[in-house]
Chain A
Amino acid sequence: MSMINIKVAAIEQVTPLVKHFTFVKEDGSEFPAFSGGSHVVVSLDIGGRIHRNPYSLMGSPEETSAYHISVRRQEHSRGGSVFMHDNVTVGMPLKITYPVNLFSLAKKGRKHILLAGGIGITPFMSQIADLKRTGADYELHYAFRSPEHGAFASQLENSYGDRVHCHVDSIGGRLDLNGLLSKQPLGTHVYVCGPNSMVVAVLETARSLGWPESHIHSEQFLAPPIGEPFKIQLARSNKDILVPSEMSMLEAIEAAGVEADFLCRGGVCGRCELQVLETDGALLHNDHFLTDAEKASGRKIMPCVSRAKCERLVLDI
Chain B
Amino acid sequence: MERGYWIRSKPVYSSLAWYEKATAHLVVAQGPGGMAVLKLFQQMHPKQPITVLYAKADSGADFASILGKVVPEGLQVRDNQEDVLAALANILPSMYMGLRLYVTGSEGFIWSVAEVAKAHGIEDIDIMKEVSTTLARSVYCVHCKTITHNITTNIGKCAGCERMLFVRDHFSRRLGAYMGLMVDAESPGVLPEIEEIYP
Whether A and B are associated in the same complex: the answer reads yes
Q: A residues engaging B (CB < 8 A)?
A: 108-110, 181-188, 207-212, 214-215
| Chain B residues in 8 Å Cβ range of A187 | 120-122
B98 touches A209 (CB 8 A): yes
With most chain A CB atoms within 10 A of its CB, the pick from B99, B121, B123, B126 is B121
Chain A positions within 8 Å of B120 at CB level = 186-187
Q: A210 touches which one: B92, B93, B100, B122 (CB < 8 A)?
A: B100
Q: Which among B23, B95, B125 is the interface contact of A209 at CB below 8 angstroms?
A: B23
Asked if B96 is at the interface of the complex by the 8 Å CB criterion, the answer is yes
Of B21, B122, B125, the contact of A207 (CB 8 Å cutoff): B21
The interface centre, meaning the residue of A108, A183, A212 with most chain B CB atoms within 10 A of its CB, is A212
Produce 1/0 per residue, B115-144, CB < 8 A to A. 000001111011000000000000000000
A182-B98 in contact given A210-B19, A210-B22, A210-B23 (Cβ < 8 Å): yes
Which A residues are CB-close (under 8 A) to B19? Answer: 210
Is B190 in the interface zone, CB < 8 Å from A? no
Binding site for A on B (CB under 8 A): 19, 21-24, 92-93, 95-100, 120-123, 125-126
Cα(A210)–Cα(B47), bound, Å: 14
Not counting A181-B97, A215-B126, a sample of 6 additional A-B residue pairs whose C-beta atoms are within 8 angstroms of each other reads A185-B121, A186-B97, A186-B122, A187-B122, A210-B23, A212-B126
Least distance between A118 CB and chain B CB atoms (Å): 26
**In the bound complex, how far is the Cα of B168 from the Cα of A296, in angstroms?**
41
B23 touches A186 (CB 8 A): no
Contact across chains for A186 and B21 when beta carbons are under 8 A apart: no
B97 and A185 within 8 A (CB)? yes
B144 to chain A minimum Cβ distance, whole angstroms, is: 30
Contact of B97 among A108, A208, A215 (CB under 8 A): A215
| A110-B97 Cα distance, complex, nearest whole Å | 12
- Residues in A with CB closer than 8 Å to B123 are 108, 212, 214
Find chain B residues with CB under 8 A from A211 CB: 97-98
Residue of A nearest to B99 (CB): A186
A188:B97 contact, CB within 8 angstroms:
yes
* 12 pairs, A vs B, C-beta closer than 8 Å: A182-B98, A184-B96, A185-B93, A185-B121, A186-B99, A186-B120, A188-B121, A209-B21, A209-B98, A210-B24, A212-B123, A215-B126
